[in-house]
Amino acid sequence: LGRFLRDPEKPMVLAIARPDERKNFPTLLRAFAENPKLRKLANLVLIAGNRDDLLNLQPGARKVLRNLMAMIDHYDLYGHIAYPKQHSPEDIPDMYRLAAKTKGIFVNPALTEPFGLTLIEAAASGLPLIAPNDGGPRDIIGALDNGVLIDPLDSEKMGQEILAMLEDKSLWEQRSLSGSTKVDKCFSWNGHVDTYVDKIHALLDSNREDSKTFNPGKARLTIIDRILVTTIDSVLVGDDAALAEFLKALEESGENVGFCITTSKSTEEAMSILEKHNIPLPDVLISSGGTDIFYGRWLVPDRAWKKHIDYKWRPDAVEKQMETFSQAKLVSREEFRFRYSYDSGSRISKRKIASHLRHAGLRANVVLVADNEFEVLPIRISISLAIRYLTFK
């Protein structure tokens, strides 16, 4: 770098990326060149790939580098900027260390950055960071607390942030130390694995008592490879002899065959019917028209299903919109269901209600449940959708 720089001891503003328009080198160069104090205080170092002959590069890279060289000439940055033609992979760690030794900073000016590996490498070398407020840099700087997020299109603000970080020595030391000490815990492979395992343990702890993972050592669900699904409603009960034959066949089918009961009735009503007819508790109970899914003899609720059907469900807004239909009288309101009644002479249309709710931006279905009664439910609730969800489990 020495052959480029008039004063190599100045703080280094380092950027490393391939010569691609999305990497946004021109904005960084402009930020440096148009800030007189920054230009006097620091050197700009651009590591933009390798080249033997500019004319032999791919068109995209050639265009980027020609533009940079034209800007260097326009701003007369000779002696203040380095842009070497060649470097080896082994040179990159030394670039970071040299920038840190000069109390410099690392800048990633990219328009978008899905992750930002160079930010982690720079942080590990003790370099404070400036990066776009996009994608991976948000997480990296958020975790390491060692830099600033910027608008990559605002060259003036970018230059001000670079200058402020270089001028405040106490802030530089604080961010350098924060990044270098936290990067191993947050972004090394060992740190990644530790974080992953901690999160998995937290999920297991929160779900152990109230999810289908309730007792994997004894749960039949762990050995079931097929499942028989039937419904209480007008199917399972009504013929005692047929029911007895069915239950016997189910018992003889083996431990690998599961049993699922669905019903539009509430859980309490379903349990009462099962007890009355001496029907054993199923491995899975889908009740209240698909609102609830329970597992095993302890009736462990599936919390993930509840979160699934709650997606974009806005019950207060639903009740407010339903006031438009004066013929409909609210009979009951539960977490995921509104039941309405209407006079038999009323001209009320299920399709019209559903259309009105959807035009209001509400994800809801309208279901006729009895003479002169209908329910408004989240769009993700139905017995068929609950069964489909179960098959993916």
What pLDDT, in 10s, does the model give residues 321-363?
999 998 899 999 999 989 999 887 777 788 899 999 999 999 9
| Residues 2-46: tens digit of each pLDDT | 999 999 999 999 999 999 999 999 999 999 999 999 999 999 999
* pLDDT higher at 48 or 344: 48
Distance CA 184, CA 300 (A): 40
In contact, 293 and 301? CB cutoff 8 Å: yes
Average pLDDT across the chain, whole number: 91
Sort 373 into a burial class: Cβ within 10 Å, 0-12 / 13-18 / 19+.
middle
In contact, 84 and 1? CB cutoff 8 Å: yes
| pLDDT given at position 8 | 96
| pLDDT given at position 82 | 98
Beta strands 329-333 and 338-341, pairing class: antiparallel
Q: Which residues pair with 341 in a beta bridge?
A: 329, 373
In contact, 131 and 150? CB cutoff 8 Å: yes
Over 90: is that where the pLDDT of 120 sits? yes
Tell me the two tokens of residue 295: 């597992």
- Collapsing DSSP states into helix, strand and coil, what is residue 132? strand
| Residues 123-139: tens digit of each pLDDT | 999 999 999 999 999 99
| pLDDT given at position 208 | 56
The predicted model scores a pTM of 0.57
| pLDDT given at position 206 | 67
Distance CA 108, CA 118 (A): 8
With a pLDDT cut of 90, the percent of the chain lying above it is 76
- In degrees and rounded to multiples of 5, residue 2 shows phi and psi of -60, -35
Over 60: is that where the pLDDT of 366 sits? yes
Tell me the two tokens of residue 219: 């749960």
* pLDDT higher at 64 or 202: 64
| pLDDT given at position 234 | 79
User: Of 257, 16, 13, 245, nearest to 118 (Cα)?
Assistant: 16
Sign of CA dihedral 37, 39, 42, 44: positive
In contact, 11 and 105? CB cutoff 8 Å: yes
| Residues 141-159: tens digit of each pLDDT | 999 999 999 999 999 999 9
| pLDDT given at position 207 | 59
The pLDDT of 354-374, averaged and rounded, is: 89
The pLDDT of 90-106, averaged and rounded, is: 97
Element (H, E) at 288: none
Amino acid (one-letter) located at 249: A
| Residues 167-222: tens digit of each pLDDT | 999 999 999 999 999 999 899 999 889 989 998 988 887 655 544 433 433 457 77
- In degrees and rounded to multiples of 5, residue 340 shows phi and psi of -125, 150
What crossing angle do the helices spanning 350-359 and 315-322 adopt, rounded to 10°? 130
Which of 241-245, 321-325, 389-393 shows the lowest per-residue confidence on average (mean pLDDT)?
Answer: 389-393
| pLDDT given at position 76 | 98
* pLDDT higher at 60 or 234: 60
Sort 326 into a burial class: Cβ within 10 Å, 0-12 / 13-18 / 19+.
exposed
| pLDDT given at position 391 | 86
| Residues 244-261: tens digit of each pLDDT | 999 999 989 988 899 999
Distance CA 138, CA 203 (A): 25
Distance CA 366, CA 374 (A): 7
